């Protein structure tokens, strides 16, 4: 039997209207305790309004070997990059 | 009755200080990184609460003693904490049992104290309640995990809860100070906390497949009157060493 607690990835939403952002990972025996532990490990400095805990084993990640196929094509198509649009000062968090 | 309010505040402060010191002993030695941090956080919460209570007690006393003088320059027989909180850390199950019993009581007490006729006590209670409601949730959750865990964790959790049971009676047994506070509406009638405490503890026990020790078991008492177990002296010796050896030291 595996005695290690499973690994959880923790996402915190820093304020209403923003997306949950990955802040790190921790070990916990189950989802409820993962939230409790996240409170202790990641939210002691007023970080957010909401916590998500996701089992790390439930995340499907792209392989580093696929980097070229996934990301390279965009590099030669500068028109895809939104750098030509001046952003108004008022628009934040974009 | 300023004397009795002073004694009462010392009880609140000493409970928080002594338990905080005990929990701090786990710092760097917790069974998992997450637990280590959690216990240290709880310790810090309690220390913060102790400072409020000590400051207020010092003002009422009017002898110029500040929170540091209260925490670091009083002897064991001047401490008014419950015997429960000074019990040694033991295994992690012992630490959790102590925490769970205290957290549930602490939560119920602070909840009542938010309605205190003393506005300052009500305000500190309100602020502390947010932290303590989390403490109680956390320790209750862990008691369930260990009680309903492996054969070994179940046995250890049950043994720890049985062992510390005799220190829980003191939490509900009013003495003259408690009665004076209740009469003035400053603090609740302590005995009234027992039923909701038993109900909550009983619910967690049943979820955790643990057996509640007998309600009419023989109970220890004396902490609130300054009669302590041998453990408090050692705890204070460590906690107070720096101030005793180097009076007035700061950093």
- Per-residue pLDDT at A2 exceeds 70: no
Give me the half-sphere count of Cα atoms (radius 13 Å) on the Cβ side of residue B125: 22
Per-residue 3-state assignment (H helix, E strand, C coil) for B4-24:
HHHHHHHHHHHHHHHHHHHHH
CATH for A74: 3.10.20.520
pLDDT for the residue A1:
47
- Shortest distance, CA B95 to any CA of chain A (angstroms): 17
- Check if A26 contacts B (Cβ < 8 Å): yes
| Closest B-chain CA to A37 | B34
B21-60, pLDDT tens digit by residue?
A: 999 999 999 999 999 999 999 999 999 999 999 999 999 9
Q: Distance between CA A48 and CA A23 in Å, rounded?
A: 11
- Check if A52 contacts B (Cβ < 8 Å): no
Provide the number of structural domains found in chain B.
Answer: 1
**Hey, is B152 helix, strand or coil?**
helix
Largest CA distance in chain A: 57
Tokens of B221: 């008492």
Nearest to B145 among A33, A39, A41 (CB): A33
A25-73, pLDDT tens digit by residue?
A: 999 999 999 999 999 999 877 778 899 999 999 999 888 888 888 877 7
- Other residues' Cβ atoms within 10 Å of the Cβ of residue A40: 20
Q: Could you give the C-alpha distances from B189 to A23, A80, B84, B108, B136, in angstroms and in order? A: 45, 70, 20, 11, 21
The ipTM, to two decimals, is 0.75
**Would you say residue A1 lies in a domain?**
no
**Would you say residue B231 lies in a domain?**
yes
**Would you say residue B211 lies in a domain?**
yes
Nearest to A40 among B38, B141, B142 (CB): B38
Contact B146, B77 (CB under 8 A): no
The answer for residues whose C-beta is within 8 angstroms of residue A54's C-beta and 6 or more apart is A8, A9, A11
Q: Which residues of A touch B137 (CB under 8 A)?
A: 36
pLDDT for the residue A94:
58
Read off φ and ψ for residue B77, nearest 5 degrees.
Answer: -75, -10
Contact B26, B36 (CB under 8 A): yes
**Would you say residue B250 lies in a domain?**
no
Contact B87, B81 (CB under 8 A): no
Task: Return residues 36-95 of B near A (CB < 8 Å).
Answer: 37-38, 41
Tokens of B77: 């027989």
- Check if A45 contacts B (Cβ < 8 Å): no
Residue entry with tokens 């205190």: B116
Task: Return residues 53-82 of A near B (CB < 8 Å).
Answer: none
The domain of A44 spans 7-85
Q: Which residues of A touch B34 (CB under 8 A)?
A: 26-28, 37, 40-41
> What does the buried/exposed string (b/e) look like for B44-80 if buried means 16 or more CB atoms within 10 Å of the residue's CB?
ebbbebbbbbbbbbbebbeeebebeebbbebebeebb
Across the interface, whether the CB atoms of A41 and B37 are under 8 A apart is answered yes
The domain of B216 spans 1-245
| Closest A-chain CA to B145 | A29
Q: Distance between CA B59 and CA A40 in Å, rounded?
A: 33
- Check if B32 contacts A (Cβ < 8 Å): yes
Q: Could you give the C-alpha distances from B176 to B11, B23, B180, B185, in angstroms and in order? A: 13, 30, 6, 14
CATH for B135: 1.20.1260.10
Q: Distance between CA B126 and CA B137 in Å, rounded?
A: 17
Report percent pLDDT > 70 for chain B. Answer: 99
**Would you say residue B234 lies in a domain?**
yes
> What does the buried/exposed string (b/e) look like for B114-130 if buried means 16 or more CB atoms within 10 Å of the residue's CB?
eebebeebeebbeebbe
**Would you say residue A16 lies in a domain?**
yes
- Check if A25 contacts B (Cβ < 8 Å): no
Give the β-pairing of A7-13 and A50-55: antiparallel
- Per-residue pLDDT at B162 exceeds 90: yes
Find the mean pLDDT for residues B183-204: 97
- Shortest distance, CA B37 to any CA of chain A (angstroms): 6
Q: Which residues of B touch A28 (CB under 8 A)?
A: 34
Residue entry with tokens 């000062």: A89
Across the interface, whether the CB atoms of A32 and B141 are under 8 A apart is answered yes
B197-247, pLDDT tens digit by residue?
A: 999 999 999 999 999 999 899 999 999 999 999 999 999 999 999 999 999
**Would you say residue B251 lies in a domain?**
no
**Would you say residue A72 lies in a domain?**
yes
Contact B147, B158 (CB under 8 A): yes
Residue entry with tokens 């002897």: B75
**Would you say residue A21 lies in a domain?**
yes
**Would you say residue B103 lies in a domain?**
yes
Contact B22, B164 (CB under 8 A): no
**Would you say residue B4 lies in a domain?**
yes
Provide the number of structural domains found in chain A.
Answer: 1
- Shortest distance, CA B40 to any CA of chain A (angstroms): 9
Across the interface, whether the CB atoms of B37 and A40 are under 8 A apart is answered yes
Q: Distance between CA B24 and CA B36 in Å, rounded?
A: 9
- Confidence class of residue B61 from pLDDT cuts 50, 70 and 90? very high
Q: Which residues of A touch B138 (CB under 8 A)?
A: 36
Q: What is the DSSP letter of A28?
A: -
Nearest to A27 among B32, B141, B145 (CB): B32
For an interface test with B, the pick among A23, A30, A36 (most B C-beta atoms closer than 10 Å) comes out as: A36
């Amino acid at each position: 039997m595996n005695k290690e607690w499973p690994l959880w990835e923790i996402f915190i939403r820093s304020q209403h209207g923003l997306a949950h952002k990955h802040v790190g990972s921790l070990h916990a025996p189950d989802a409820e305790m993962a939230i409790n532990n996240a409170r202790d490990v990641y939210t002691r400095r007023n970080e957010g309004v909401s916590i998500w805990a996701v089992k790390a084993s439930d995340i499907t990640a792209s392989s580093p070997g696929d980097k070229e196929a996934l990301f390279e094509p965009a590099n030669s198509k500068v028109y895809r990059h939104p750098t030509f649009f001046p952003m108004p000062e008022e628009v934040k968090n974009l | 009755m300023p004397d009795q309010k002073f004694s009462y505040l010392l009880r609140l402060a000493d409970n928080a200080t002594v338990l905080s010191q005990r929990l701090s002993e786990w710092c760097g030695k917790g069974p998992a990184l997450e637990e280590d941090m959690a216990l240290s956080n709880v310790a810090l919460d309690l220390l913060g609460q102790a400072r409020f209570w000590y400051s207020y007690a010092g003002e009422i006393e009017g002898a110029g003693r500040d929170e540091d003088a209260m925490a670091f320059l009083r002897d064991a027989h001047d401490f008014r904490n419950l015997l429960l909180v000074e019990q040694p850390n033991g295994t992690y199950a012992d630490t959790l049992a102590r925490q769970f019993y205290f957290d549930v009581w602490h939560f119920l007490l602070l909840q009542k104290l938010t309605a205190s006729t003393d506005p300052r006590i009500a305000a500190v209670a309100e602020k502390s309640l947010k932290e303590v409601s989390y403490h109680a949730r956390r320790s209750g959750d862990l008691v369930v995990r260990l009680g309903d865990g492996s054969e070994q964790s179940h046995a250890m959790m049950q043994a720890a809860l049985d062992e510390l049971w005799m220190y829980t009676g003191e939490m509900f047994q009013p003495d003259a100070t408690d009665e004076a506070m209740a009469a003035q509406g400053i603090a609740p009638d302590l005995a009234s906390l027992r039923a909701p405490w038993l109900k909550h503890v009983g619910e967690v026990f049943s979820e955790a497949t643990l057996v509640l020790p007998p309600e009419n078991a023989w109970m220890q008492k004396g902490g609130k009157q300054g009669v302590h177990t041998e453990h408090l002296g050692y705890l204070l010796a460590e906690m107070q060493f720096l101030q005793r050896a180097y009076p007035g030291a700061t950093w």
